[in-house]
Amino acid sequence: MLVPFLLVLIGLGVVAGFFGSLLGMGGSILLVPMLILLMGDFLPIQAAIATGLVCVIASSSSAAGVYVRRGWVDVRLGMLLELGTVAGAITGALVVTLLSATAVEVVFGIFLLGAAVLMWRRPPREAEEVADTIPDYRARNYPLGLGVCTLAGSVSGMLGIGGGPVQVPLMYLGMGVPLKIAAATSNFIMGVTAAAGALLYYGRGDVVVAVTAPLVLGVFLGAQVGSRLAGRVHSRWVHGLLILVLLGLAALLFAEAAGFTAPWRGGQ
């Protein structure tokens, strides 16, 4: 009983870590809804969110260590924007205690729909992603950056995901930061943001070690495989697949919120 349980959790983590690293958006956006839908009967929604945040720290720390060494992270900008994301994550982690599980499912479903629409409208920029040279730049619009990062942090603390889908476009389009630097700096920020939220969940007793540990291990493994395959996999296919998965998860969350229980949990 124990070994299959551990293998399923590690497998879920591998899937989330693999796609998260392949697409640079963090695996928790897939992992948290999967946990809610598959294990909602015995894993409270706040425990699923806490697990998502710990997985964000895992994927962020291992990748950011490499990005910092390569000089892709704007450390000064990241440290400043972290003030906003940390404040937001704490607020989000506190606010979520006031919401019902159904409300969190609906908010998550809306977020997934929004992410799917954004991805559909903005196909992968392969040429820019692989560019080796980083142009000179000077970040601008700091007040806008801090404000939006506070919002991204609160979404992270409330839903257990990284703030990448908000932070990268903000830095790239709103603050004039090159895309590669924006993606790496966003990854760098995510670790501290997620830690701010995760520590609150931990303090409230929402971290279930037996579930979180194998999932984090799976995310580590999946992220390693994903980062090695990133150059070889056709990113448009992965992009399209992820849009479908996000839409499917959103639909299932809305169904769950409306009272339909998934067949694998004994529903009709």
Partner 1 sequence: MSAAPRGIAFVLRWGSYVSALLLGAGVLWVATAADVPIQAGPAMPLRALAGQLAERNPYALMQLGLLLLLATPLVRLLIAAAAFARRREWRQALAPLAALALIVASVLLVRGR
Nearer to partner 1, 55 or 249 (CB): 55
**What are the two backbone dihedrals, phi and then psi, of residue 214, each rounded to the nearest 5 degrees?**
-65, -35
Reading the block at residue 83, the tokens are 């003030």
Given a contact cutoff of 8 angstroms between Cβ atoms, the answer to whether 149 and 189 are in contact is: yes
Contact 222, 18 (CB under 8 A): yes
The residue from 15, 171, 192, 238 that contacts partner 1 (CB under 8 A) is 192
Q: Give the nearer residue to partner 1 in terms of CB position, either 112 or 190.
A: 190
Which position has the token pair 């009983």? 1
> What tokens does 175 get?
């603050």
Tokens for 244? 């479908």
Closer residue to partner 1 in complex, CB, 104/216: 216
In the chain, DSSP assigns E strands to none
Closest CA to 245 of 125, 128, 120: 120
Rounded Cα–Cα distance for residues 117 and 57 (Å): 26
Stretch that binds partner 1, among 66-74, 100-108, 158-166, 176-184 (CB under 8 A): 66-74
- Residue 66 touching partner 1 (CB under 8 A): yes
Segment interacting with partner 1 (CB under 8 A) among 14-22, 71-79, 116-124, 160-168: 71-79
Candidates 209, 237, 259, 268; binder of partner 1 (CB under 8 A) is 209
Q: Using the rule CB under 8 A, which residue among 176, 205, 248, 267 binds partner 1? A: 205
Residues that bind partner 1 (CB under 8 A): 1-3, 5-6, 10, 42, 54, 57-58, 60-62, 64-66, 68-69, 71, 73, 75-76, 79-80, 82-83, 86-87, 90, 93-94, 191-192, 194-196, 198-200, 202-214, 216-217, 220
